[in-house]
Amino acid sequence: MTTHLQSKGMVYLVGAGPGDPGLITLRGVECLRKAEVVVYDYLANEQLLDHVPAAAERIYAGKIGGRHNQDQEEINTLLVKQAQAGRIVVRLKGGDPFVFGRGGEECEALGAAGVPFEIVPGVTAAVGACAYAGIPLTHRDYTASVTLVTGREGKDKDDSGIDWHSLSRGKGTLVFYMGITTLRRNMERLVEHGRSPDTPVALIRWGTTPDQQVLKGTLADIADRADRAGFKPPALTIVGEVVALREKLSWFDGRPLFGRKVIVTRAADQTGEFAAMLAEQGAMAIECPTIRLVEPEQWEPLDTVLREAGSYDWLVLTSGNAVRSVFRRLEVLGLDARVLGRCRVCAVGPKTAEALGEFGIRPDLVPSDYKAEGVVAEFARMDLAGKRVLFPRADRARDLVPRELARMGARVDSPIAYRNILPDSLPHEALHALERRTVDCITFTSSSTVRNLAAMVGEDRMLDLLKGVTVASIGPITSQACRSLGLEVAIEPASYTLADLAAAIEAFFSC
């Protein structure tokens, strides 16, 4: 890009897709990562803002209370103004910018002002929502054409700009955007112009998200069905014989955790992995970190033992956090895994072993019981008299391992490798869901996640917020912390891993 163009700023019109944040394009993510300003819509999933630099300005231009926060002219002016200030602007629009997204109008305004822009296409709602509903837009045995139509014409508008006669001929699939408020009149017009009243129709609300709802009917009765179901926007209307294929092709809303809201309380940089496991089974995983991991108050105790790590007989690491903290510190000290020398390594659990593998180390010991008691049981089979053990730990870690190994005769050093502190606040989405009583399950993956939640909202309020919410705990120690605070644990896997916890949650809700 030339210096002249860059000095004038740049606007990227990015299609956010129909709702599932995984449906944005790679190019769209690239644009978000370099944005200085993001102007986003009501239908753009806010999780996509996680790709945006922390320093970037975020401007909501969607709906508030059912009304648009800014009209189109104001948005056009905003984009021009921000770009002319020399900023990189991303206009994040639900679906595709050029399919009923008013992207053309915004580009006209940018072009008239001499502002350079780029269009990044997105998965439009018709394609995404129909795919997730199991309704192919075209099918060799049913239809070879599809038409996208705006459904937003006044209920009593007789002089329609839509060619209803042409739409009603043949068996092509019709997709109406924004047509729920005009559903009855639109269906009547199709019948009036020759389409069979028995033609299958489907309404898809919040397509591609865990809130997806699909309502089926015909041209003759879909409006009545929608009224009885209280079906509200945003939704698409699909008309055509292909709707009948949903019975065979439905996949998304048949997953075991579909529609379940699950709160994940791990540390902020760790919630994503577990949330993704739950989302794969159809859950709406709401990230609610109750832990923030920070550096020790002083590094010297850890630095001292790491410099002489090769003089120890065992290095015991009980979590991926401990692994990462130790090896990041080694890097700062100008050292690497070679400093371990003859020191053998114990990893508590497969995830800890996996984290070690990232640094080229295979653990010598992985206890079959993935908790402190399992570590103690394994070392009880050995002669630890006079052996040196290095146990880098969290500031709030249980003292069982160093205490018991010392009792066996080992000389144990247990410096703090990281601290576990409270986040500043709970995420709005998680707190809002708890207050509205829409949460099905909450997960706790350590005792700290339980205690920290109680500390952040108060024990009494926590118990009130979690009334009727299924509590899932990763293991007995965490379950004990839950019960000590008055929570009833309904789910606890036999093995204490995230994968096993996810499987246990799936089994519980599948019963």
Q: Which residues are catalytic?
A: 41, 63, 178
Distance CA 446, CA 97 (A): 43
In single-letter form, the type of residue at position 433 comes to A
Residue found under tokens 């009545």: 224
Q: Taking Cα atoms as reference points, which of 124, 217, 113 lies closest to residue 177?
A: 124
Distance CA 218, CA 202 (A): 8
> What DSSP letter does each residue of 260-300 carry, written as one string?
-EEEE-S-TTTHHHHHHHHHHTT-EEEE----EEE--S-SH
Distance CA 491, CA 278 (A): 15
Distance CA 392, CA 320 (A): 12
Neighbour tally for 47: CB within 10 Å: 15
In single-letter form, the type of residue at position 239 comes to V
Type and span of the H or E element at 347: strand 344-347
Angle at 115 between CA 111 and CA 117, to 5 degrees: 80
Strand order through the sheet with 261-264: 284-287, 261-264, 441-444, 470-473, 489-491
Q: What are the distances in angstroms from CA 463 to CA 176, 260, 442?
A: 45, 20, 12
Distance CA 195, CA 399 (A): 75
> What DSSP letter does each residue of 77-88 carry, written as one string?
HHHHHHHHTT-E
Distance CA 148, CA 167 (A): 10
Q: Examine residue 234 and say whether the peptide bond preceding it is cis (omega within 30 degrees of 0).
A: yes
Type and span of the H or E element at 58: strand 57-60
CA atoms within 13 A on the CB side of 226: 27
In a 10 Å sphere around its CB, with 0-12 CB exposed, 13-18 middle and 19+ buried, how is residue 495 labelled?
middle
First to last CA, the chain: 58
Strand order through the sheet with 57-60: 57-60, 37-40, 88-93, 10-15, 117-120
